[in-house]
Structure formats: C-alpha cells, structure tokens
C-alpha cells in the first residue's frame, strides 16, 4: 500500500521498480514488463511519459541514453535509499549506495538522512549517529549546520569530549562555528562534560551569540555550580537587548534557588510576568522550587496554585519545600491532593514525603505511605527502599528498617547497605553497624564514601578508627574530602586532636565543610585560640564561611572570658548579612548563654523577625541550662501557643527544667504531649523523662518507663543507672549495668562515672576499685579526671585518706582542683589535719580566683583551730575582689 501511494507522486519515479531496472539485475524483457506493469498500475500522465522514455532507452540504447540511464540510476537509488532512511534503516540505505556505479553526492537525499540522524538521536543510538556521519563525509556528502549539531549532540550524550574536540576542529575548518546552532551545541557539550571554562571562553569569543547561545551558557553555568556567573550572564543578556525565553528563565531561577538568592529571584519573577511566561509549566515549577528552597512557602503555594497545568515535578517541588521547612502536615496534605488529582507519583515524590515524615516523627503516616508503596509497585526501587529505611530509623523504629533491608537480601544494592548502616548509626547502634560493615566485606562489597563516612562519624574507639583509616588508605579514599573530614573528626572525638589537626593539614584540597569540621573539632576540645586562628586562615584562603562555619566558631566561645571574640564574630556575621538566619541566631543565643550574658541572649532572640522551632528550642535550652527554669517553662508555653510543634530537643530541655523545679505534674503533662506528638520513641525524650521522674523522687515510674522502651540506647541506660545511684540503690544500679553489658552495649565515660558514683554513695569500695581497674582492661578507656575524683570520693567516704592521697600523687595526669577539693572535703569530715593541709594548699594554688576554694580552705583551717590562717584566707578573698555567695533556702 505504501509503495502504491508513492507511485502516485510524479517525483517518486517508481523507486522500487526503477531501481531493479537501473541495476540490470534482470533480463531486459523482464525490465520492460516491470515498467509496463508500473505504468498501467499508475496511469498518471507524467508517470506514463517517463515510463515510455525509459522503455525507449532500454530498447535502443545510445550514448545519450547511457548518460540518461546513469542519471536515472542515481535518482532511483536515492529514492530507494530515502525509503530506508525514513524507517531509520541506515545500513540498508548505505548498501544501496554501495551498489551504485560512479556514486556522487547528489545521490544523498539530505532531508531524509537528517531525519534518520534525528531519529537515532531521539532513540539514544548515538554511536550510530557518529558512524553514519563519518560514512556520509567519506562519501563526499557535505553536512550542514543541523547535521553537525546532531553529531555534536551525540558526543554530548556519550560524554565523548575527545571526539567533540575533533568536531570543533572540523567545524572551524569548514566555517560553521558562526552558526548559533553549532555554537550552542559546543557550549552544551563542554558544559556537560565538566569543561565549563572552555564553554565560557568560547561564548565570550563569539561575536554573534543569540538567545540560544545565551541560554546554553547560562544553563551550563548553573549545571557546574557557578551560580554567580549565571546571574551575571543573565544581567548582561537582558542589558544587551537579547530577550530571554522560558528555557532561560528556568535556568536562571534554578541558579537563584541553589544560591538562595531570594531577592534576585523575585526580580526575575517580575521578568517572567513581563514576558508572559508564567503559564509555562517548566518556568512555574522553577518558581515554586525557588520560593520553597528559600523558605518562603507562602509565595511558593501562591505560584503553585496559579499554575494552569502542573506536572509531577511541580508537585514534588512544593512537597519538598514543606519537608525542608519541617512542616510535615502540609507536605502530607499536598501529597494526598496530588494522588486525588490522578497525578503519577514517582520516586522523587515518595522520598520527599517520607523525608517530611521522618523529620516530624510522623510514624502512623509513614506506615500508610509504606502500604501505598507496596500497592503502587515502587517498593522494588532502591531509592524508595533507602528512603523507607531512613524514615523508620529516624522515627526510632530501627527494627522495621532492618526488616525492609533483609526482605530483599538477594537484591540489596550498595545504597541500601549505606542507608541501613546510617540508620543504625543514627540510633547509636555502633556494634550492629560495624557487624553489617564486616558482612559487606565478606560478600565482596566495597563500602562507598558515604558508608565509610557514616561509620567514622560514630566511632569512639581509637583502635577501630585506626583500622578504618588503614582500609581508607588501602582503597584509595583518603583524598576524598568527605572521608578525610570524617577521619579527622573521628580522631578528634577519640581525644587525638593533634592527629586530627595533622591529618587536616595534609589534605591536598579543603572545601568549606572540611574547614568547618576542623574549627568545630578545635572548639569542642576548648582550643579556642587555634579555632579562631583557623577561622582567620580560612578567610585569608578565600573560602567564604557559611552559616555552619559561623555557628562552629561561635561554639568555641564557651566561657565569659571569650565573649569578646564572640562579639567580633557577631559583628562579622552582621557584615555578611547572616544574622537574620535562624541557625546563626540559635548559635548566638547559645554563645551568649554559655558566656552567662542573658541580656544579650534575649536581645538576639527578639531581633530575629521570623522565629522558627530551632531558635525557640535554643532559647528554652539556654534558660534551662542557666538555672532559669521558670523562664524556660514560660517560653515553652509561648512557643506552643505560637503554633510550633514540640520536638525531642525542646521536650528534653523543658523536662530538665521540670526536674530542677521538682514539678512532676508538669512533667507528666509533657509526657502525655510527647506521646501525642509521636516523639516518645526518641531516646532523648525517653532519657529526659527518666531523669525527671528520678529527680522528682519517683524512681518506680522511671523504671516503668525504661522497661517500655524497645531499644534503649546508652543514654537511657546511663540515666536509669544514675537514677538508682542518686536514690542510694547501688545494687540495682550495678544489676542494670550488668544487663546493659549483656546486651552488647559498651559504657562510655559518663556511664563509668555514674557507676563509680553509685559505689561511692553506698560505700561499696571493693566493687568500685574493681570497676575502676577494669576501665582500661575491659573497655580500653583511660580514666579521666572525673573518674579519679569519684574514686577519691569513694576512698574519702570510707576514711582511707592516705590511700586517696597516694592515688592522687600517682595519677598519670596532673590532678585538678576538683580532685583536691574532693580530698579536702573528706579530710574535713574525718578531721585529718595532715592530709587536709596539703589538699588545702593545692586547692588554693590551682584555683586562686575561686571563692568556693577559699571558703573550703578557710573552713578546714577553722576546724583545725588555725584562726590566723582563717583571717589570712578571708583577707585574700577581699584583696582579690571576690565575693562569697550567700547561702539560701527554697523554703
């Protein structure tokens, strides 16, 4: 049917029949029959006349008819090749031309072959495009700008930059680089293969760049993360009277969203309205994404609602925006509306809404979405599986995460392993995470950078950390910025801050995250001067600090003596225009809180216009930690009435204030709210509740709550042990400690202090000494100053002051005032003048400006009857300007 229709076209020249005649594959009489049959089946005047002419040529060949035959051969062969080209059968078309005697370029039909090249490009057969292009050129065919563009696009899709360079030389030779289409193709090629500098240079050297080239170079700048260049290019583009298109707007709006340039993005929104591009679904989606990433969800919803048509990307952008703003209810609401509109849901949408559920601890909604994922068939997607594993781990249900991981053990991919290990680490399950890592090694799976970094982020044992360091060296991941940052953070957390700083210094390339991590590590170890020096060096190196960097260096100001530096950083943040950011505001509140400057702390909080949940939590925690428990509870009430949902951090801070005020009634109300909000499963909240009930004297409720926790972490175990210790129940504390060890949970420094304190308060000297000795042998943990203070207190309460003094003098580290003060208090209680005198001198030497130390020494001298010494000590207090804090009673 198709051939018959083409015979009706007088220009088709009976392609299949004439091809057989021209190649003379059949006898001449048979050829005549074919022609006669074709003419009779196609009674078009032109076809009949052409058929008669060819019949005469075949019957009476002469020199002219031979030339006519050759011309006819080329035309007919080209016509048949067109048929093959239209069906993208380029090899057959080339075979036709191989059979032509004396081929010439006229035989190539440009439009049909270009269509075939376009079809190859659309179907992803880029190698076929390049191969066909080479054959066409070798046969004498001269490509035009569109053919070159398709060949360049094939190089871009296959990431073949070397072949692209060869095409660039060829285009320069034939003079087609002046074509805007060819130029835009090269701009796209070099941008997508990571050579944006070449694309940018080529664009600057071009003299006839139009909107296509401008859009291509702006999109390339955005793709390579050069957002400032993209915005400058857009400004130059519109300033040069080259009007942007929808593609240009979507690219530059993407740059504003990535750089969080809300003001610039708002101006571009005005351009979009001016050019009437707001109805374009791609531009509208870019606007929604801009406002969502910049935190202006009201504007994002307004743009989203005004869109005449929405696609899955638009819905995902608005859901993702609410997820970033910790508004899980709105994210879930839009997800339900999306499904009701019969819009197809992809894996990006699912991961966004699961992320919202995880951040807001929406357990029940997560279960429902999990069921829908089963029903929709997306459960087999590894990205969705990663999101499910992370979601259940975030809301504290690590058992379901492990079940999801094990359900597809035969098809588990590397990303699933990383997600599972990350979930275990987030729930403080280091032992199980390491066991899973070893299982990966046994299955010949190589952990990637993310997996190794997650493991290193929780390692608190230097031996395990060094083994992982060796593996990193072996597989060549040491020069990965993320892995190296995790390594020196691990050394810092394990107490080897010098090793951490040395590893940081050896890094060949340091990004902003590496600088920030090292500054935070120095700040954590109270090496404040080095942290500030590193911060200055970072600025001198040209690395621009962000909110995390400012927050890290502010955390170094943890004492009133460093508040001057904190004020300087505050001024620097004002200069950068970052103080309106709530994360910086939270860090400033925390810094002034640690420096005991409540007035400045409150002033910073009041000056931030848009207060979020993190800022409120920082203020409540600051009030609670500084003893302003009533103010903490009041601010919590203000936060709740402002419409903010409580999270695990805020809840734990307020529960701490309730414990200090001994208000179990309010604590029980918070317990109910935690259950309602779905955060009772979080270990921070459970541990704070345990401590609150314990300090309020309700140890039975503490134990009942502890037994209801499915997988208590180390903090919960330590809180329960401390509760028993504070209530004088040392045997129960030791029993629960044995249960903890049997569960495979290793104690940390705080847990050991709690055990020693329980032994000290109950006079269990032998068990306390045995545990103190086992810290090195069983747990590979060097005793710290507070552990020595506990063991000195243990000996002092038992009256073994001489042994306590020998222990202090034999300490591998220099004893501080806490240890000597503990011994001094024991000497005063037992009336040991000799040991007490030595302890008194040490306390005064180590704490010359602490009024408490002077008062303790004065009381000791008074007990010994040395009234002259008492007068000298009291005079010293007045001379240095110290004031004795008066005693007070809560009654």
- Residue 867 is predicted with a pLDDT of 63
Task: List the structure tokens of 311.
Answer: 């696609």
Residue 48 above 50 pLDDT?
A: no
Residue 890 above 70 pLDDT?
A: no
- Residue 75 is predicted with a pLDDT of 52
How far separated are the first and last CA of the chain, in Å rounded? 106
Residue 751 above 50 pLDDT?
A: yes
- Residue 233 is predicted with a pLDDT of 84
- Residue 409 is predicted with a pLDDT of 53
Q: How confident is the model at residue 220 (pLDDT cuts 50, 70, 90)?
A: confident
- Residue 22 is predicted with a pLDDT of 44
Looking at per-residue pLDDT, the higher value among 26 and 547 belongs to: 547
Task: List the structure tokens of 524.
Answer: 């954590």
3-state helix, strand, coil in the chain (%, to 5): 75, 0, 25
pLDDT tens track for 658-695:
888 888 888 888 888 888 877 776 777 888 888 888 88
DSSP state at residue 690: H
Q: How confident is the model at residue 848 (pLDDT cuts 50, 70, 90)?
A: low
DSSP secondary structure, 711-768, as one string: S--HHHHHHHHHHHHHTT-HHHHHHHHHHHHHTTPPP-HHHHHHHHHHHHHTT-HHHH
- Residue 358 is predicted with a pLDDT of 80
CB 114 within 8 A of CB 151: no
CATH number for the region 783-891 comes to 1.25.40.10
Task: List the structure tokens of 772.
Answer: 């103190």
Looking at per-residue pLDDT, the higher value among 107 and 292 belongs to: 292
| 570-583 mean pLDDT | 79
CA dihedral 139, 145, 150, 152 (to 10 degrees): 100
- Residue 39 is predicted with a pLDDT of 43
| 67-88 mean pLDDT | 51
Domain boundaries, the chain: 783-891
Residue 119 above 60 pLDDT?
A: no
- Residue 863 is predicted with a pLDDT of 62
- Residue 756 is predicted with a pLDDT of 87
Tell me how far apart the alpha carbons of residues 400 and 390 are, in angstroms, rounded to a whole number.
10
Q: How confident is the model at residue 390 (pLDDT cuts 50, 70, 90)?
A: confident
Residue 21 above 50 pLDDT?
A: no
The overall average pLDDT reported for the chain is 75
- Residue 200 is predicted with a pLDDT of 76
Tell me how far apart the alpha carbons of residues 192 and 197 are, in angstroms, rounded to a whole number.
11
What share of the chain in percent tops pLDDT 70?
A: 74
Looking at per-residue pLDDT, the higher value among 479 and 227 belongs to: 227
Q: Nearest to residue 310, comparing CAs of 331, 341, 332, 276? A: 341
CB count, 10 Å around CB of 59?
A: 11
Q: How confident is the model at residue 850 (pLDDT cuts 50, 70, 90)?
A: low
Residue 290 above 60 pLDDT?
A: yes
Residue 61 above 60 pLDDT?
A: no
Looking at per-residue pLDDT, the higher value among 748 and 117 belongs to: 748
| 358-380 mean pLDDT | 81
pTM check: above 0.85: no
Q: Which of 435-439, 612-616, 784-788 has the highest mean pLDDT?
A: 784-788
Lowest mean pLDDT among 8-17, 490-499, 572-581, 836-845: 8-17
| 827-833 mean pLDDT | 74
Residue 159 above 60 pLDDT?
A: yes
Query: Which residue has tokens 């997820």?
Result: 323
CB count, 10 Å around CB of 91?
A: 13
Q: 203: which residues sit within 8 A by CB, 6+ positions away?
A: 183, 187, 209, 213, 217
């Amino acid at each position: 049917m198709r051939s018959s229709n083409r015979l009706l076209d007088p220009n088709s020249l009976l392609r299949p029949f004439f091809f057989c005649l021209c190649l003379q594959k059949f006898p001449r009489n048979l050829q005549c029959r074919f022609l006669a049959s074709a003419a009779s089946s196609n009674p078009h005047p032109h076809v009949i006349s052409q058929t008669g002419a060819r019949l005469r040529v075949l019957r009476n060949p002469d020199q002219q008819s031979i030339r006519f035959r050759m011309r006819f051969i080329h035309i007919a062969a080209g016509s048949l090749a067109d048929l093959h080209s239209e069906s993208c059968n380029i090899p057959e078309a080339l075979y036709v031309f191989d059979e032509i005697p004396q081929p010439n370029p006229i035989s190539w039909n440009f439009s049909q072959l270009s269509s075939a090249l376009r079809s190859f490009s659309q179907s992803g057969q880029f190698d076929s495009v390049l191969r066909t292009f080479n054959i066409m050129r070798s046969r004498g065919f001269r490509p035009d700008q569109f053919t070159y563009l398709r060949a360049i696009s094939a190089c871009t899709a296959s990431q073949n930059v070397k072949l692209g360079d060869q095409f660039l030389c060829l285009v320069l030779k034939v003079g087609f680089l002046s074509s805007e289409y060819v130029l835009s193709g090269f701009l796209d090629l070099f941008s997508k293969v990571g050579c944006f500098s070449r694309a940018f240079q080529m664009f600057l050297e071009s003299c006839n760049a139009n909107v296509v080239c401008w859009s291509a170079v702006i999109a390339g700048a955005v793709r390579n993360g050069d957002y400032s260049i993209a915005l400058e290019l857009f400004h130059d583009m519109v300033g040069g009277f080259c009007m942007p298109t929808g593609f240009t707007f979507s690219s530059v709006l993407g740059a504003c969203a990535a750089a969080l340039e809300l003001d610039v993005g708002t101006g571009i929104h005005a351009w979009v309205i001016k050019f009437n591009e707001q109805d374009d679904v791609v531009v509208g989606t870019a606007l929604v994404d801009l406002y969502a990433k910049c935190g202006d969800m009201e504007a994002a919803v307004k743009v989203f609602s005004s869109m005449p048509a929405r696609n899955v990307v638009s819905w995902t952008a608005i859901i993702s925006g609410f997820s970033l703003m910790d508004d899980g209810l709105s994210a879930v609401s839009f997800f339900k509306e999306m499904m009701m509109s019969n819009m197809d849901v992809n894996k990006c949408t699912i991961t966004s809404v699961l992320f919202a559920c995880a951040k807001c601890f929406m357990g029940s909604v997560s279960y429902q979405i999990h069921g829908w994922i089963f029903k929709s068939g997306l459960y087999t997607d590894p990205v969705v599986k990663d999101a499910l594993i992370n979601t259940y781990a975030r809301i504290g249900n690590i058992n379901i995460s492990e079940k999801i991981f094990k359900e597809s053990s035969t098809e588990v991919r590397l990303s699933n392993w990383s997600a599972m290990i990350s979930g275990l680490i987030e729930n403080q399950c280091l032992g199980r995470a390491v066991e899973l890592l070893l299982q990966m090694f046994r299955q010949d799976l190589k952990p990637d950078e993310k997996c190794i970094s997650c493991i290193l982020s929780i390692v608190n044992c230097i031996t395990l950390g060094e083994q992982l360091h060796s593996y990193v060296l072996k597989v060549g991941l040491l020069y990965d910025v993320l892995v190296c940052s995790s390594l020196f953070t691990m050394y810092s957390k394990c107490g080897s801050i010098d090793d951490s700083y040395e590893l940081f210094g050896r890094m060949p390339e340091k990004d902003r995250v590496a600088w920030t991590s090292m500054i935070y590590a120095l700040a954590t170890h109270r090496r404040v001067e080095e942290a500030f020096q590193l911060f200055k060096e970072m600025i001198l190196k040209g690395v621009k600090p962000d909110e995390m960097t400012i927050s890290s260096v502010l955390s170094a100001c943890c004492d009133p003596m460093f508040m001057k530096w904190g004020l300087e950083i505050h001024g620097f943040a004002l200069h950068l225009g970052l103080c309106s950011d709530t994360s910086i505001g939270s860090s400033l509140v925390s810094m002034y809180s640690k420096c005991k400057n409540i007035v400045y702390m409150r002033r910073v909080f009041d000056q931030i216009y848009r207060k979020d949940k993190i800022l409120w939590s920082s203020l409540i925690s600051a009030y609670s930690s500084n003893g302003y428990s009533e103010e903490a509870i009041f601010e919590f009430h203000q936060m709740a009435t402002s419409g903010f949902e409580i999270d695990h951090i805020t809840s734990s801070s307020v529960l701490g204030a309730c414990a200090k005020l001994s208000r179990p009634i309010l604590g029980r109300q918070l317990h109910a709210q935690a259950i309602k909000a779905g955060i009772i499963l979080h270990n921070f909240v459970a541990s704070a509740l345990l401590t609150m009930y314990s300090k309020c004297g309700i140890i039975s409720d503490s134990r009942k709550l502890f037994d209801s926790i499915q997988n208590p972490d180390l903090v919960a175990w330590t809180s329960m042990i401390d509760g028993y210790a504070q209530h004088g129940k040392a045997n129960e504390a030791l029993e629960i400690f044995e249960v903890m060890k049997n569960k495979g949970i290793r104690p940390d420094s705080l847990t050991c202090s709690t055990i020693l304190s329980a032994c000290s308060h109950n006079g269990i000297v032998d068990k306390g000494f045995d545990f103190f000795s086992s810290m090195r042998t069983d747990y590979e943990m060097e005793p710290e100053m507070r552990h020595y203070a506990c063991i000195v207190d243990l000996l002092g309460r038992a009256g073994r002051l001489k042994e306590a003094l020998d222990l202090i003098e034999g300490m591998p580290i220099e004893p501080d005032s806490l240890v000597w003060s503990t011994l001094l208090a024991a000497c005063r209680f037992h009336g040991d003048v000799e040991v007490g005198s030595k302890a008194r001198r040490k306390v005064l030497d180590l704490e010359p400006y602490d009024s408490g130390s002077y008062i303790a020494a004065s009381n000791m001298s008074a007990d010994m009857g040395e009234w002259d010494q008492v007068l000298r000590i009291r005079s010293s207090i007045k001379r240095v300007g110290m004031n004795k804090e008066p005693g007070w009673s809560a009654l």
